[in-house]
Amino acid sequence: MAKNNYEGINMKSFRKISKISLNTTKPISKLFGFDRGTPIDRYYIEKFLAENSQYIRGSVLEIAEDTYSKKFASGEIRQEILHFDNTNPNATIVGDLTKIETLPENTADCFICTQTFNFIYDVKSSLLGAKHLLKDGGVLLATVGGLSQISRYDMDRWGDYWRFTDKSLEMLAKEAGFSKASVIIYGNAMAATAFIQGLAQEDLKDLKMLDETDEDYQIILGLVAKK
């Protein structure tokens, strides 16, 4: 087997559940590592938000909850929560990102939108909706998945439609009319191997190995887009 793909993995932990072999079609976990600890993609999502925390201030909008807004805010914030229907009692805005007429305009200084665009078929309209929600000069901080298994939970409920690259995400942001857009790549071959197998952060012997970036193994992409 390709030894280098596993050199960052805690082999003692790995051997507790499976032989190190490619002679099986089954992953270690099909739950993204949630059943083993903290999913590897969460490392990159939080790294992206920490690196861009200077934008998380003023009126901050987040999807469904306010976890990341509170954790990474760089100053005083006024929290807004977006949900697509009225089933979320914490929602301050009920609207569909793909239907701009359901969304208030010029609402947020910062819109944190993590792991959402993969699950919206009309992704172009959803980026227009995200821009519509922002004030002039406001910033969208979005993360999307690149290399990943299918999320069966989402697929069976509303759909799992897209996997992105830095090029596709940059083009989508430009087509949506953002004045500035930059994409940050997270991932490498070892991280991708571990993530696809369903290993968790706790299975890795050194989390710093996740910080090395290989542009050909894009697990998470972070978008910083300014209106």
Radius of gyration of the chain (CA): 18
Statement: residue 8 has pLDDT above 70:
no
Statement: residue 9 has pLDDT above 70:
no
Determine the pLDDT at residue 152. Answer: 97
**Which residue(s) pair with 93 in the sheet?**
82
Reported confidence tier of residue 21, pLDDT bands at 50, 70, 90: low
Determine the pLDDT at residue 18. Answer: 43
Question: For residues 66 and 85, is the Cβ–Cβ distance under 8 A?
Answer: no
Task: Give the residue-averaged pLDDT of 30-43.
Answer: 96
Whole-number Å distance between alpha carbons of 123 and 115: 12
Task: Give the residue-averaged pLDDT of 68-89.
Answer: 96
Between the two ends of the chain, the Cα-to-Cα distance in Å is 48
Q: Mean pLDDT of all residues in the chain?
A: 92
Task: Give the residue-averaged pLDDT of 181-201.
Answer: 96
**Closest to 109 (Cα-Cα) out of 62, 171, 172, 44:** 62
> How confident is the model over 107-164, as pLDDT tens digits?
999 999 999 999 999 999 999 999 999 999 999 999 999 999 999 999 999 999 999 9
Determine the pLDDT at residue 2. Answer: 39
3-7, 69-73, 96-100, 218-222: which range is least confident on average? 3-7
Determine the pLDDT at residue 23. Answer: 78
Reported confidence tier of residue 19, pLDDT bands at 50, 70, 90: very low
Q: Which domains does the chain have, with CATH numbers?
A: 3-226 (3.40.50.150)
pTM of this structure = 0.91
**Which residue(s) pair with 14 in the sheet?**
none
